Each structure stands twice: as structure tokens, then as C-alpha cells.
Amino acid sequence: MSGHTKTHVSSPRGDGLEPAPYESNFVEVAGLKLHYQDYGTTGKPVMLCVHGGAAHAHWFDFVAGAFTADYHVLGLDQRGHGDSQWANPPDYSYRRFAADLAEFAEKLDLRNFVLIGHSMGGTVSLEYAATYPGRAGKLIIVDSTVKMTEERVASLRDVGSRKGSNYATREEFLARFRLRPAGTSAAPEVLRHLAQNSARQFPDGTWRHKFDRKVYATRETTDGLPRWSHIRVPALLIKAERSQRISPQVLAEVTARCPQVQFTEVPHCDHHVTLDNPAGFVSAVKSFLTKQ
């Protein structure tokens, strides 16, 4: 792998749950400096994890370590998220995110890799796998909205168009940190870890979320169902038990377009599957991968 810099980072130990250690790397994609976390282990088949909207690669910190015995696990911060550069002017279409994935995979020479996308990251991963076949060998979509309605997009644009909260200190940010969507049963140490990695200090001295709110402000409608007709690799669709994003109707339509897709539901979790039930997520993914 080339075109990236490395800084070793070890995540702090949690109270009962331990986030995986990683190396913090950067690579230039489409003129932007994108950040990704390398959890190890080089030389093994690659697993690339793609987070959801307003999130970052740390959403996978509590599951990545369970796969490093068999996979070289990477977690990408998409443009406008985490420690990756923001696009100016804003350029946050699903097509653009997918093109970023394509260039990222080419620059790091990723081949026959496992692609895991959660929420918006699942929509992006589906777009990528359908548009740029040949490199991703297996596709795992985690509790993603397959069809983004006008009403849902309008709501997100409204959120993104409002000025975000500013916090005088990092401690104030940590105290007021909440997930979006709000429903979660994640352990307090997991939420604390995410909060610690979700803010940075801006030039005016205040602390804010790392993500660019224009990601929401420019959100577009999308219908991912036709994309499933172009998926030829083994695929898994994961539903969170308490989430309504993947309805029986959606599952039936996906299966009609992609007969090889497998489906599983992870119990005891809301939308943030990797945070609410890390062990359940790991079990579901490993069960799928060992059968391929």
C-alpha cells in the first residue's frame, strides 16, 4: 500500500469493552486528504468498513478487533467526516462517495475485499459495488435505508441547514454528546469513546462535531433497489432488531433483484448495531463469511 502516512494510535481501554488499536493513515482521493484507520493485520484478506452519515470510522472500533485474526481490517472516514477533509464547495452525493471508494480501493490496491457499510455507508457501498464491480468480493449492508424518500431527505436537509451547536470546552461537548438517531442501548464506555473522537476545536476556539453539516444540507433522494440487480458477489443484508429501516417489503424486493443475498437480524439493538450489540454483529458477519 502506498500514498499514505502513518501515525500509531492506541485507543484507551474502556470499562469492560476495549476498542481495537489502530494506525491512523491518510491518502489523497479526488484532491481531498482522506483519513482511514488500519486495525491490522497486513497480508491477510482486506475488510473495509464504511460508516454512516455524521459518523466516522470509530463506529467500528468495538468490532474490528474480532476480525483481525483473519482479515486486514480498515475503517475509512468518508469525505466531510471524522478526520477526513471537507469538500469545498460541498460535493457529497452518493455517486461522489462511491467514486471516492473506487479511487481509495485502487490507490491501496484492494482486491477481493470484504466491504461493510453501515447506514449511509451501506448506501454508498451498494452504489460502489454496483457501479465499480471487480474489486469487492463480498458485500455486507448494515441497517441502511434502501430507498430515501423526499420526506426523509427534507428532514435531513433541515437539520443540516441549521447552525450546529458550539461548545466552549471539550468537556462540555463530551457531557452533551448524543447519537443520531437517538435510540441506542450502547454501553456508557462505548458512547464515551465515540464522544472523545467526535469533536475538534475550530479556529474560533469552540468545540464542534467533526463532520460537515453540508453532508446533510445537500442530501439527495436515492433508490438503491435497482442497484441490487447489479450485485453478483455474495451479499448479506443485516437488520437491527429494533430498527424499521429494512421492512419485509424491502427485503422481498432486494431478494427479487439479488437472489444470492442472505439476510439476518441482530437482536437487542437499535440502528447503531456495532455499538449496541458488538458481539451480535460479529457473530452475524462471521457466520456469513465462513459459509462463503
Q: What angle do CA 72, 75, 95 make, to 5 degrees?
A: 120
Give kind and range of the element (H or E) at residue 136. Answer: strand 136-142
pTM: 0.92
User: Which residues in the chain land under pLDDT 70?
Assistant: 1-16, 148-150, 152-162
Q: Convert the pLDDT of each residue in 146-204 to its tens digit.
A: 876 667 666 666 665 667 789 999 999 999 999 988 899 999 999 999 999 999 999 99
pLDDT for position 8: 45
Question: In this predicted structure, what is the pLDDT of residue 154?
Answer: 63
pLDDT at residue 16, as a whole number: 47
Cα dihedral 278, 264, 148, 243, rounded to 10, equals: -60
State how far the Cα of 200 lies from the Cα of 56, in Å rounded to an integer: 13
Average pLDDT, the chain: 91
Q: Which CATH number fits domain 4-290: 3.20.20.70, 3.40.50.1820, 3.30.2350.10, 3.10.450.50?
A: 3.40.50.1820
pLDDT in tens, 49-65: 999 999 999 999 999 99
pLDDT number for residue 227: 97
**Which residue pairs from 94-100 have beta carbons closer than 8 angstroms and sit at least 24 positions apart in sequence?**
94/123, 94/124, 94/127, 94/220, 94/222, 95/127, 95/131, 96/30, 97/124, 97/127, 97/128, 98/124, 98/127, 98/128, 98/131, 98/132, 99/30, 100/29, 100/30, 100/32, 100/34
What confidence score (pLDDT) does residue 12 get?
A: 39
Cell of residue 29, nine digits: 482521493
